[in-house]
Amino acid sequence: MSNRTKYVIGGVLVALLGWWLLPNWLAALLIVAVVAAPVVGYLMLDDSQRRRLHRLRNRGQLHR
How confident is the model at residue 42, as a pLDDT? 92
16-63: pLDDT as tens digits: 888 888 898 888 888 888 889 989 999 999 999 999 989 888 887 666
Residue 60 is classified by DSSP as T
Q: What beta strand segments (E) does the chain contain?
A: none
Positive or negative, the CA dihedral 9, 11, 14, 19 is: negative
How confident is the model at residue 63, as a pLDDT? 62
The overall pTM is greater than 0.85 = no
Amino acid at residue number 56: L
Contact criterion met (CB below 8 Å) for 32 and 40: no
